[in-house]
Structure 1
Amino acid sequence: MLTPGTTPLRESTAPAPQLSIVTSVYRSEQFIPRFIDEMVAAIGEAGIERYELVFVNDGSPDESLQHLIHARGANASIKIVDLSRNFGHHKAVMAGLAHARGHLLFIIDCDLEVRPGVLPHFLETLRGTGADVVYGIQARRKGAWVERVGGAVFWRLFNRLSDTKVPANVLSERLMTRRYVDALLSLGDRNVFLGGMMYWSGFRQVAVVVEKTQRENASTYSLRKRFALLMEAVTSFSTVPLKMVLAGGLGITLCAGVAGIALVIRKLLHPEAVLTGFTSLMLVIIGMSGIIITVLGVIGLYISRIYTQTQNRPLFIVREFHD
């Protein structure tokens, strides 16, 4: 299978690993040594002999890549997918999945908010249930009040506006079978929102409760990025905003028609009546202008998604693959 990027996967005569760990790297230099140590220990505890650690350098501006290259000298199981620039977390994960060769694949963030020691529990659950996916959820969303409320609002809005339902406290961490990952990679979406894509793909998916701690330094997900992700998610998996715009337009048209008929009847019954109200008229004009601009904006979002999809550009470009 070819990657959704520009570089074909390199064929290998070596046996496929039992497990591939996939993680994206962005401003993560302080976490990399501890993450590798804890991940290798968790893999050993799980009894996995053949494994690979697939790190995707998502255009990280710090020394993360140099740390990874140095670590690879001591552990040949480390693979590095070095992207040509920052493409975003979701596309970086897709790059890692496309380059991973394992029979099972485990996505985990390397910032240690979720400790690698959860791996054995994920493996045990997968084997015990026969599921294709075991994903982590939080019993209670962590972080400050703004982060907790913002996350809850994000998923509530997405689930209300989309036919694809996603658990409200879902985490990035998930263990997947090869057939599920192959199906995920075959979707061909250029507007990538992994949360929706992973549940839209189907298969049997089982949740496990995972403890998530607070990141040591500030999160790289700003409020602006969260809002942009919400727009990406909703417009990629829902046509409800378009239906709401249509319903709103029909409602306004109906109200305007009723008001127009009422004014005509009034004029016929009372010819001497003078229709005045410059202020009211201007408010109506301004209000209608705002509605028209909003409608055009919503339509524009969907047109931009069509434009991106038809461009057929790769999701990511790999500058170098350290295999």
Structure 2
Amino acid sequence: MSALVEIMSPELDKGDMTELSVVIPLYNEQEVITVMYERLTAVLTGLRVTYELVLVDDGSGDGTPAVMRRLANDDSAVTAVFLSRNFGKEAALTAGLAHAVGAAVVIMDADLQDPPELIPKMMQAWNEGADVVCMRRSSRAGETWFKRRSAHHFYRVLNAVSDVEIPPDTGDFRLLSRKAIYALQQLNERNRYMKGLFAWIGLPTTVIEYDRMPRVAGTTKWNYASLFNLAFQGITSFSTAPLRLVVAGGLLTAFLGIIFALWIVAKTLVFGDPVQGYPSLIAMITFLGGAQLLSIGLLGEYIGKTYYETKQRPVYLVHEVLKRGRVVDQMTASSERSHA
């Protein structure tokens, strides 16, 4: 049996199954991680279930790894996963899900914008049969008007062009059943847009609305350039509609060019006007040149995704893992399971 089949096997984690895992990707979050841990453990203790916290350090450059080591050494319920460098949030989430062993897995950010006090409600929906529990933001406190509106419109545009229906106004804050985790582990792509992958598996989903809170401490690591890149990744990962739009734009441009040429000929024959070529020629060359470069760039984006997929590089590499106070070297093993 191949290593990949062994990783996906439902029997893999039975001997180490807990009722609930909470996966938290971390990147330069030293200001908030201790507060997050205290609030989260208070909620989980009140649930009276066996649980684990899977903290994933995505190559932080501050004191985040040191705080994670302290928590892992002091609390046997904490598993600390240290990636070899910064691979991005989507890769960190993939790593966290690969190391989580719970029957239910909750994903949340460390900044406490997603209140851990909502986990009992998520667990209730899971107990009632939902394999995926999405948390939809009815309000987004602490964010600018532009960010709120751009996020709102992005989800609508994404669903308009996407091959799958992605619940609007939902982030990574959600609960996944063990069945959903096994389904995700069969998706091997390297260019990962996790919100789309969560929707693609198509298992029974419950949506719960909540009010998103401001950050408790620290500053966001997502600037507008990063958010635009993530949005573009989402659209190009789950739709070829941009390529179809380029084709439609090319046909429309060709049609308008024919109409314009016929107009020039008719005007010259009927009115005898000389062809005023220079301004219109420069305008058309500039417009068509820009459209061609945009089309080539968009085509190159899709070809680039194919290029990276063919390399078959792992999504992430793990430097080490601290579990139940014990250090485990995972650099070799992570290469096998990183695309799970």
Q: TM-score if structure 2 supplies the norm length?
A: 0.86
User: What secondary structure, in the 3-state scheme, does the structure 1 residue paired with 2:18 have?
Assistant: coil
Cα drift, residue 208 of structure 1: 1.1
| 5+ residue gaps, structure 2 | 6-11, 324-340
- What is aligned with 2:78? 78
Q: Deviations over 1:257-313 (max 9, x none)?
A: 23334445566x469653233111111111111111111111111111111111111
1:107 to 1:271, Cα distance in 2 relative to 1, 3 A:
closer
Distance 1:254 1:13 in 2: 63
Q: Deviations over 1:210-268 (max 9, x none)?
A: 2321113321110010010111111101111100100110111122223334445566x
Larger deviation, residues 71-80 vs 12-21:
12-21
- What is aligned with 1:8? none
1:278 to 1:314, Cα distance in 2 relative to 1, 3 A:
same
Distance 1:302 1:28 in 2: 33
- What is aligned with 1:140? 139
Distance 1:254 1:144 in 2: 42
Distance 2:93 2:179 in 1: 17
- What is aligned with 1:16? 17
Aligned residue pairs: how many? 315
- What is aligned with 1:127? 127
1:195 paired with 2:192, answer: no
Distance 1:51 1:2 in 2: 27
Q: TM-score if structure 1 supplies the norm length?
A: 0.91
1:58 paired with 2:58, answer: yes
Larger deviation, residues 148-157 vs 304-313:
148-157
Cα drift, residue 165 of structure 1: 2.4
1:32 to 1:75, Cα distance in 2 relative to 1, 3 A:
same
User: What secondary structure, in the 3-state scheme, does the structure 2 residue paired with 1:136 have?
Assistant: strand
Q: Is the 8 A contact 2:31 2:218 kept in 1?
A: no
| 5+ residue gaps, structure 1 | 5-10
- What is aligned with 1:290? 290
1:45 paired with 2:27, answer: no
- What is aligned with 1:178? 178
Task: Give the letter aligned to residue 240 of structure 1.
Answer: A
Distance 2:272 2:224 in 1: 58
1:25 to 1:274, Cα distance in 2 relative to 1, 3 A:
same
Task: Give the letter aligned to residue 36 of structure 1.
Answer: Y
Distance 1:159 1:66 in 2: 41
Q: How does 1:202-217 map to 2 (within 5 A)?
A: 202-215=202-215, 216-217=217-218
Could you list the structure 1 runs, at least 4 aligned residues long, displaced by more than 6 angstroms after superposition.
none
Report the aligned-residue RMSD.
2.2
1:118 paired with 2:118, answer: yes
Q: Is the 8 A contact 2:139 2:210 kept in 1?
A: no
Distance 1:76 1:2 in 2: 28
Task: Give the letter aligned to residue 140 of structure 1.
Answer: S
Cα drift, residue 318 of structure 1: 0.7
User: What secondary structure, in the 3-state scheme, does the structure 2 residue paired with 1:316 have?
Assistant: coil
